[in-house]
Amino acid sequence: MKQRRKDAQITLGFIMVCMLVSGLLVAPKSGRTEPKLIPISECALNGFPLGGTVEEMREALGEPESITDVMTSGNEYSHLESQYDGLRIVFSLHGRTALNYYVTSDEYRLRSGVGVGSTRQEIESALGPPLYFKSGDVRYMAYHLAGSDGRPIPVQLTIRLDRNNVVEFSLISR
C-alpha cells in the first residue's frame, strides 16, 4: 500500500510537470524574479548524472533492487526502469542512458545537498528562485535546466513540498 501511494505521488508529480510545460500551470507571481537556469551538472544524484549509463549508475549508487524492461500496450519495450528504495530511474531502452529520476528518500541528494527533507529556504538558497505552482493542497517548486554551454535544455527539476519541506523531487527530460 505504501509503495502504491508513492507511485501515485510520483505519477501526480509527472502530470504536474507536464501541465507546467504545456502552459496549463502558470509561472511566478508578478514582482518575483524569473528563475535562473540550473546547470545540468548540479543535478547529478549522489554523483550519478542525468544521461548516465546503467554501468555508471551501478558505480555511483550500487546494485539496484531491480531493473525492468517496461512494455507498452503494443508489446514493445519502451524503456528500462531501475528501482532502489526511494529512487526510480528511467533509462532509454536503446541508448541505456538515464532520462528521468523520481526520488522519495533522503538518501539521494543533488550536488548542492538539496534533497528530501530540505526546506524551501535551503532550496532557494542553493538553487535560486523557482517557479511555484499548486494543485489542490499540494505545492511544487520547479526549475528549468541549462546544458554545459549555459543554454536551456528540455529538462526540468520539480520539487514537491509539504509544510515547506521537500517530500519528493523528480528530474524529467521532456
pLDDT, position 73: 61
pLDDT, position 75: 59
Q: In 3-state terms, what secondary structure has residue 92? A: strand
pLDDT, position 145: 93
Domains and CATH numbers, the chain: 2-173 (2.60.460)
Give the span between the Cα atoms of 16 and 151, in whole angstroms: 24
CB atoms within 10 A of CB 19: 13
pLDDT, position 79: 83
pLDDT, position 78: 73
Q: In 3-state terms, what secondary structure has residue 4? A: helix
pLDDT, position 76: 61
Q: In 3-state terms, what secondary structure has residue 14? A: helix
User: In a structure prediction context, what are the per-residue pLDDT tens digits for the chain, which is 174 residues long?
Assistant: 455 444 544 444 555 554 444 444 444 444 555 667 999 999 999 999 999 998 999 999 999 998 888 766 665 657 888 999 999 999 987 768 899 999 999 999 999 999 999 999 999 999 999 999 888 888 999 999 999 999 999 999 999 999 899 999 999 987
Residues 134 and 140 sit within 8 Å (Cβ to Cβ): yes
pTM of the model: 0.76
Chain centre distance of CA 53: 17
pLDDT, position 68: 84
Give the span between the Cα atoms of 67 and 140, in whole angstroms: 29
Give the span between the Cα atoms of 76 and 19, in whole angstroms: 27
Give the closest residue to 35 by CA, choosing from 121, 114, 129: 129
Give the closest residue to 99 by CA, choosing from 40, 58, 142: 40
